[in-house]
Chain A
Amino acid sequence: MLKDITLGQYYQADSVVHKLDPRVKLVGTIAYIVTLFMFRNLTIYLIALAFLVFTIRLSKVPVSFIVRGLKAIVILLIITALFNLFLTPGEPIVSFWRFSLTYEGIAAAFYLAIRLIFLIIGSSLMTLTTTPNQLTDGLESLMKPLNKIKVPVHEISMMMSIALRFIPILMEETDKIMKAQMARCADFESGNIIKKVKALIPLLVPLFVSSFRRANDLAMAMEARCYQGGEGRTKMKPLKYQKTDYLAYLFLLVYLIVAIVLGKFFPLHILQV
C-alpha cells in the first residue's frame, strides 16, 4: 500500500536527466507547470505530452513506475471530475433531479483531469531523477537573492531537506509499526469510518513518539558537529553548470516558445465551447 506513493522518491538510473543540474530541472518543472495552466486547449496538452514522453524516455525511468504514482490521486481525480461534470452551468445534455451534465462540464472535467495528471507526472519525474539533497541544493541556490531581504534561505532549505530525507524513514517506520500491531491482531481494514479512524491510534501514537525521538537525536548530532546555520558555510560539491545544462536551458526555451506560440495561435478544442 505505502509502496504505491512514488511522489518524493528517487529512482536510481544512469541517464542524462539524472545528471542535469538540479536548478535546470527545477526551472524546467516550473516552466512546464506554467505552460499547463496558460491556455485551455488541446494543442498545449499535445505539446506537453510530447515534452513528457521525450523527457521520460531520456530519464530511463520505467513508465509503469511513474504511473504508479498516479494511484495516490485517483480518488481526488474522480471527485473533482465528478463535481466539474455535473455542477458546471451551461447547455445541458442530460439532467436528473438537480444535476445536469453539460458540454461545458465535460470540457472542464477533461481539462482538469489532464492538468492534474500531467502535473503529477511532471513533478514526480523531477523528484524521481533528483536526489533530495540535490533538490534542496538547487532550491537554495535559486532562492539565494532572497537573502538580501532577510529571508533565511539556508534554514528553509535545510528544513526541506530534512523533511524530504525523513519521508522514506517514516514510511518504513509506519510499515514496521503497522506490522507490529497487526501481529497483535490489530485490524486496519474492516469496519466503518469511525472504527477505521480509531484503529489508527495504535499506529499514530508510536509514530509521533518515534518522530520526536528522531528529531531530538538529529538535533543532538547536528550540534555535536557544530552546526550553526548557513553563515560562512561552504559546500563539498558546489553546483556548477555544464555544457548539457546550457543545452537543456536552450531546449526549455524552445519548448516554452513553441508552447506559447502554438497554444495562442493554433488552438484545438475537443468541443466547440
Chain B
Amino acid sequence: MPIILNHVNCIYEEGTTMEVAALKDVNLVLQDEQFIGLIGHTGSGKSTLVQHLNGLIKPTGGEIYFNGEDIHDDDFDRKKLRSQVGLVFQYPEHQLFEVDVFSDVCFGPKNLGLPKKEVELRAYEALKMVGLEDEFFYQSPFDLSGGQKRRVAIAGVIAMKPQVLILDEPTAGLDPKGREEILNMIRDLHEKMKCTIILVSHSMDDVADYAERIIVMNHGEVFLDGTPKEVFSHKQELEEIGLAVPTVTDIMHQVKELGYPVDESVTTLSDATDALVNLYHNVKKYY
C-alpha cells in the first residue's frame, strides 16, 4: 500500500512574523517494502514530512494518499492509519511511562482495542524482535540503559504491526556499538516483517549501507531522490547544501583523484574493499 504525497505544503505560524515554510511542494510516491533513507540537515523539514505521513500534522496545502484514500477525508479512520504507519520519534525513550517494560509495549496494541491475549502476544513478539532479553521484561523502563530504552520504545511501535515503519534519527545519542546494533536490528525488521522502512537521518553513513532509495531534503524541498549510487554521484551538490557523501565514497573519490582507475560511485564498505583489492591486484600485474 503505497503512500502518495501530492503537492504537499506546510507553513508554520501562518500570518505572523514567525511564519516558516517547513515543506514546499513535496511530491513523492513511497512504494511498498522499500527501505528508504530520508536525509537532510537540521531544519530541512524531514521531521515535519514524516509527521505528515501518519496524519499528526495536517498539510496547509496538497493531499496525502494512503492506500488510495485521502488521509484527511472526514470519514477516514486516522487511528487505524497510525497503527499502519508506525512512527518512532526522535529520542523515543522519552515517551516511556509504564511501571514495567512489558506493559509499556502493550500500550499501542491495547489502544487498538485488541483482546488481552493478542495484545500480550504482540508485545512479546515485538520485544523479541528488537532483541531485548527476557530478564528485562518486568523491570522499570527507567532502569534500563540508553540503547535498551530505545529498543523498548521501538518495540512499542512495532507491536502494532505497522506496514510502514518510520524511524526519526533512531541512532541519535547512542555510542558506536549501540548505533550499529540499532541499524542492524532495523535491517532485520525490514527482512522479517516485510514492511516499508523510512529511516530519517542526517548522516549518510547511517543510511548508505542499508537503504535502497535515498531522498535528500533541503529547505523543505525534495533535493535529490534515487538509488544510493545515483544520489551520491552528486557529491558536489551535496557538499554545497552542507551534507557529505558516505566516508567510503569520499575515500574512493580521493583514490581516483590520485590517478588510479577505481569506481568512485561505491557506497558500502564491502564494495569499497572489493574495489581496492581489485585495484591492488591490477597494480601488481602491471608493475
Closest A residue to B54 by beta carbon equals A183
Closest B residue to A177 by beta carbon equals B95
A12-B17, A13-B17, A176-B89 known; A184-B94 Cβ under 8 A:
no
Contact A209 B108 (CB under 8 A): no
Contact B111 A180 (CB under 8 A): no
Range of interface residues on chain B? 20 to 34
Contact B97 A183 (CB under 8 A): no
Complex formed: what's the CA distance from A182 to B51 in Å? 11
Q: Which residues of A contact B (CB under 8 A)?
A: 11-13, 62, 65, 176-177, 179-187, 201-202, 205-206, 209-210
User: Given the complex, which residues of A lie within 8 Å of B107, measured CB to CB?
Assistant: 181, 184, 186, 202
Please tell me if B277 contacts chain A, counting CB pairs below 8 Å. no
Complex formed: what's the CA distance from A202 to B51 in Å? 20
A179-B56, A180-B94, A205-B97 known; A186-B89 Cβ under 8 A:
no
Closest B residue to A180 by beta carbon equals B95
Please tell me if B45 contacts chain A, counting CB pairs below 8 Å. no
Contact B111 A186 (CB under 8 A): yes
Closest B residue to A65 by beta carbon equals B16
Task: List 4 additional A-B contacts (Cβ < 8 Å) besides A181-B95, A202-B95.
Answer: A180-B89, A180-B92, A182-B82, A209-B142
Within the complex, the shortest CB–CB distance from A224 to chain B, in Å, comes to 20
Complex formed: what's the CA distance from A206 to B97 in Å? 6
CB-contact partner of A185 in B88, B97, B108, under 8 A: B108
CB-contact partner of A184 in B17, B142, B157, under 8 A: B157
Contact B82 A185 (CB under 8 A): yes
Please tell me if B228 contacts chain A, counting CB pairs below 8 Å. no
Interface SS, A side: helix
User: Given the complex, which residues of A lie within 8 Å of B95, measured CB to CB?
Assistant: 177, 180-181, 184, 202, 206
Contact A187 B111 (CB under 8 A): yes
User: Given the complex, which residues of B lie within 8 Å of A209, measured CB to CB?
Assistant: 94, 142
Closest A residue to B92 by beta carbon equals A180
Q: Mark B215-232, 1 if CB is under 8 A from A, else 0.
A: 000000000000000000
Q: Mark B198-230, 1 if CB is under 8 A from A, else 0.
A: 000000000000000000000000000000000
How many A-B pairs with Cβ below 8 Å?
Answer: 60
Contact A210 B94 (CB under 8 A): yes
User: Given the complex, which residues of B lie within 8 Å of A11, measured CB to CB?
Assistant: 17
Pull 19 A–B residue pairs with CB atoms less than 8 Å apart, ordered by A: A12-B17, A176-B94, A177-B95, A179-B51, A180-B92, A180-B95, A183-B56, A184-B111, A184-B156, A184-B157, A184-B160, A185-B82, A185-B112, A186-B111, A187-B79, A201-B97, A202-B107, A205-B97, A206-B94
CB-contact partner of A12 in B18, B54, B86, under 8 A: B18
Q: Which residues of B contact A (CB under 8 A)?
A: 16-18, 51, 54, 56, 79, 82-83, 86-89, 92, 94-97, 107-108, 111-112, 142, 156-157, 160
Closest B residue to A13 by beta carbon equals B17
| Residue of B97, B108, B111, B160 ringed by the most chain A CB atoms within 10 A | B97
| Residue of B86, B92, B95 ringed by the most chain A CB atoms within 10 A | B95
User: Given the complex, which residues of B lie within 8 Å of A184, measured CB to CB?
Assistant: 82, 95, 107-108, 111, 156-157, 160
Complex formed: what's the CA distance from A176 to B108 in Å? 17
Within the complex, the shortest CB–CB distance from A210 to chain B, in Å, comes to 6
Closest A residue to B153 by beta carbon equals A180
Complex formed: what's the CA distance from A236 to B32 in Å? 58
Complex formed: what's the CA distance from A184 to B156 in Å? 8
Within the complex, the shortest CB–CB distance from B86 to chain A, in Å, comes to 7
User: Given the complex, which residues of B lie within 8 Å of A187, measured CB to CB?
Assistant: 79, 111
Complex formed: what's the CA distance from A113 to B25 in Å? 45
User: Given the complex, which residues of A lie within 8 Å of B97, measured CB to CB?
Assistant: 201-202, 205-206
Closest A residue to B112 by beta carbon equals A185
User: Given the complex, which residues of B lie within 8 Å of A176, measured CB to CB?
Assistant: 89, 94
Closest B residue to A202 by beta carbon equals B97
Contact B157 A206 (CB under 8 A): no
User: Given the complex, which residues of A lie within 8 Å of B83, measured CB to CB?
Assistant: 185
Within the complex, the shortest CB–CB distance from B196 to chain A, in Å, comes to 16
Complex formed: what's the CA distance from A187 to B83 in Å? 13
Contact B111 A185 (CB under 8 A): yes
Complex formed: what's the CA distance from A186 to B156 in Å? 12
Complex formed: what's the CA distance from A187 to B94 in Å? 18
Closest B residue to A210 by beta carbon equals B94
Complex formed: what's the CA distance from A5 to B155 in Å? 35
Within the complex, the shortest CB–CB distance from B10 to chain A, in Å, comes to 15
Complex formed: what's the CA distance from A62 to B19 in Å? 14
Within the complex, the shortest CB–CB distance from B285 to chain A, in Å, comes to 57
User: Given the complex, which residues of A lie within 8 Å of B112, measured CB to CB?
Assistant: 185
| Residue of B56, B86, B94 ringed by the most chain A CB atoms within 10 A | B94
CB-contact partner of A177 in B17, B87, B94, B156, under 8 A: B94
Within the complex, the shortest CB–CB distance from B98 to chain A, in Å, comes to 8
Complex formed: what's the CA distance from A185 to B56 in Å? 11
